[in-house]
Structure 1
Amino acid sequence: MNDPLPLNVRRFLAHQIESVAQLETLLLLRRDSHRLWNAQELAQGLYLSENMCQAMLDDLERRKFLVRASDSNSVRYECADLKADSMIALLEDLYRERRVAVISEIHSTPISKVQTFADAFRLRKDGKP
C-alpha cells in the first residue's frame, strides 16, 4: 500500500486542507452533518484550543464546506459543491485506510509551495532566472 494517493485527492488536499487538524475537523463535522457545532464543543472533542477551532470553522465556512446557523454562532457540515463532497467522502475512506499517506501528503504540501516559490528566485549558472 505504498502507492501514492490519487492525483485528484492530492490536488484537493493541496488546495483545500491546511492541516491534519483541519481535515479531522471537516471529517468529524461531515460524519455528524445534522449536528450544530461551536468552537467550544469542537475544542473539547478534538482536544484543541477554542481559538484554533474557531479559526478552522471560519476557514471551512469560507471554503463553503459549512453553513452557519441563523440564530447562533454554530455551524454544521453542508458542502455547497457535490463534487467536493464526494472528494471529502473519498478522503474519509482514505484517511481510515491509509492515514499515514494522507498525513504525509498534507505535511508535504506547504514544503512544496515554499520550494516552488524559492525556485522562482533561483539563478541558473548562466545568470538567467
Structure 2
Amino acid sequence: MTTANNLPQEVTTLLHRALPSMVHIELLLLLFRTGPRAWSTHELAVELRSSPDLVTAAMADLETSRLAEQEPGTTPPKHRFDAGEATAIQAVAMLQTIYDRRPVTLIKALYKRPPASVTAFADAFRLRSDS
C-alpha cells in the first residue's frame, strides 16, 4: 500500500516515527549497508561529511527508536545497525531502494511531514493493544 506521498506505508511510518532529517536517513542507511560493522561517531561524521555533534544527536535518536545500537564495551562508543524486528528491517530496505531510485520523492516526503504536535494529537486516538 502506498500513501499520499507515493511511498510505501512502511517507509512513511518509518520517516514519521524515527527520521526527522536527512542526517538521520543517511546515517541509518550507512549503518544498514555496512551490516555488522561498528562505527565510532568520528568515523560516521567523516563518512557522511557531517559534524560530530549532528551525528551524535542522530545516533541517539536512532538508538532510542531501536534502529541502531551502541556496541557494548567500546571506548569511544561504536554504533551499528540493529533494527531487530523483520518488519523494521524490511522498511529500512525499502527506504534504501527509494533513496537510490527516487531521492526527490523521499526528500519531499521528509519535509512535507505533519508537524510533531499534529502527529502526537492523532496518536492519542490510535487504538493500542494491551500487550
Counterpart for residue 127 of structure 1: none
Mapping for residues 106-117 of structure 1, pairs under 5 Å:
106-109=110-113, 112-113=114-115, 116=118
Structure 1 residues 115, 79: CA separation in 2 closer, same or farther (over 3 Å shift)?
A: closer
Check whether the contact 2:41–2:52 (CA below 8 A) recurs between aligned residues: yes
Structure 2 residue runs of 5 or longer lacking an equivalent are 120-131
Shift of 1:116: 4.1
Amino acid paired to 1:77: F
Counterpart for residue 102 of structure 1: 106
Counterpart for residue 48 of structure 2: 46
Counterpart for residue 89 of structure 1: 93
Which is greater in Rg? 1
Q: 69, 77, 80: which is aligned to 2:84?
A: 80
Amino acid paired to 2:39: W
Paired with 1:34 and 1:8, the residues of 2 have a C-alpha distance of: 23
Q: The residue matched to 2:104 in structure 1 has which SS?
A: helix
Paired with 1:71 and 1:114, the residues of 2 have a C-alpha distance of: 35
Amino acid paired to 2:95: L
Check whether the contact 2:71–2:79 (CA below 8 A) recurs between aligned residues: yes
Amino acid paired to 1:100: V
Considering only aligned residues, what root-mean-square deviation do their CA atoms show, in Å? 1.8
Q: 39, 49, 68: which is aligned to 2:70?
A: 68
Counterpart for residue 23 of structure 1: 25
Shift of 1:20: 1.1
Amino acid paired to 1:88: V
Paired with 2:110 and 2:29, the residues of 1 have a C-alpha distance of: 15
The percent of aligned pairs where both chains have the same amino acid is: 27
Shift of 1:115: 8.4
Check whether the contact 2:23–2:54 (CA below 8 A) recurs between aligned residues: no
Q: For 1:8-54, what per-residue CA distance to the aligned partner results, in whole angstroms no more than 9, with x for missing partners? A: 32222112211111101000001001211111111111111111111
